A and B are shown apart, each in its own frame.
Chain A
Amino acid sequence: MKLLKEKLESIFSGVQVNILEQDRLIMSAQKDAVLSILSFLKGKGYTHLALISCVDWLEEKEFELVYVLSAYMQKDNGYTDKEKTNIILKTRISRGNPEFLTVISIFKNAEPYEREIYEFYGIDFKGHPRLTPLFLEREYKIPPFRKDFDTREYVKEVFDKIPFVENKDGKK
């Protein structure tokens, strides 16, 4: 793990790498370097993209994309089994212009994750073949997982305005 940390810091500039535990590495990078870091890590054996997640930092006006990678056990590249486990890669993009590049070219299974983030946070992934709705049935003015989406106001506007059906005698 330490070897990998040194290598990452020497190859990529502006990358902060912390080793959280023995088998967990967390790193933050500039958004330009993300694709090259991911393909570098894939070459190092981290072939499994477990998750892409997103965090909305409303006060800092930034979205944080989180890529979670893990490796299957392989005995090459000079690392022992225990050292190849989990990597969390974080990057920040601006909230005013929520755009990022798709990572489908590196990890094919990124497609549903990126569709989900597009749907719930409104981040446009350039180069994604089909950014269509995945889960939601309705259209929302603000994507619903953003922090400035007021769920109570939305409930009042949409669900509470639908009237109860009354019988002829006026009872509910």
Chain B
Amino acid sequence: MDRNQLIKWLKAPAKMGHKYSLHVIYFCTGCGIIEIPPSITSRWDAERFGIIPVATPRQANLFLITGYVSVKTLKPIIRTYEQMPEPKFTVGFGSCPINGGMYWDSYNTIKHLDKYIPVDGWIAGCMPRPEAIFVAVTHLWTLIDKEMANGYKKYRENYKYYRANQKQLYGKVEWPPLFPIEDKDEPSPS
């Protein structure tokens, strides 16, 4: 362990724990998932950074969205994100979740992912190299240190607006709201 970080560990052990044990759920959308097998296996060995892939969203706290998001895929993305325990961080991988990328005029691809769920960081590129994942992870560490990776707090505060955006896209959302919101049309959260 780095001796310089001893003070940080004593000050905020939970935060340091979150930093160095990012359990990641890879959502295999689009083409970006092809970069994940080399990055978690021995060539780039993501476990050096404390990153391991987990099986279910209930165990994860880093959500990596790898590639374009179609209207149909957004639904499981939202539901996966809502199942993850807090604190949770989202990273959009590739240029497609940022602004549509090469699918900017597609009829079935959502252009801006951060209209529907909060995103803490972006990795630009088409495709980004596996090194870019680790640059993003180390950048995410500094964001967690400075308490700037607060997408999940933003989601809780502005849940009404996110929910409204999701509703505007789908017309009707089938799942119950994650947080209570004052709306007569909505069923109460179970």
Contacts and interface: CB of A to CB of B under 8 A. Distances in A.
Interface of A: 135-138, 140, 144, 149, 151-152, 154-155, 158-168, 172
B169 A162 contact: yes
B71 A137 contact: yes
B112 interface: yes
Interface residues of B, number: 24
Most buried by B among A140, A158, A159, A163: A159
Contacts of B75: 137
Contacts, number: 59
B72 A165 contact: no
Contacts of B165: 162-163, 165
Nearest to B75: A137
B107 A155 contact: yes
A11 B48 CA distance: 71
B115 A154 contact: no
B168 interface: yes
A144 B109 CA distance: 12
Interface stretch (B17-25, B126-134, B155-163, B182-190): B155-163
Contacts of A140: 107
B105 interface: yes
A149 B106 CA distance: 11
B114 interface: yes
Contacts of A152: 105
Contacts of B104: 155
B111 interface: yes
Given A137-B75, A138-B71, A164 B115 contact: yes
A135 B106 contact: no
A171 to B, nearest CB: 10
Contact of A167 (B110, B154, B162, B169): B154
B170 interface: yes
Interface string B141-174: 0000000000000100110011001001110000
Nearest to A155: B105
Contacts of B170: 137-138
B4 interface: no
A12 B165 CA distance: 57
B115 A163 contact: yes
Given A137-B75, A162-B169, A167 B158 contact: yes
Interface string B6-43: 00000000000000000000000000000000000000
Given A135-B72, A137-B71, A164 B107 contact: no
Contacts of B106: 151, 155
In order of increasing CB-CB distance, the 6 nearest A-B pairs are A144-B107, A137-B72, A165-B161, A137-B71, A151-B105, A152-B105
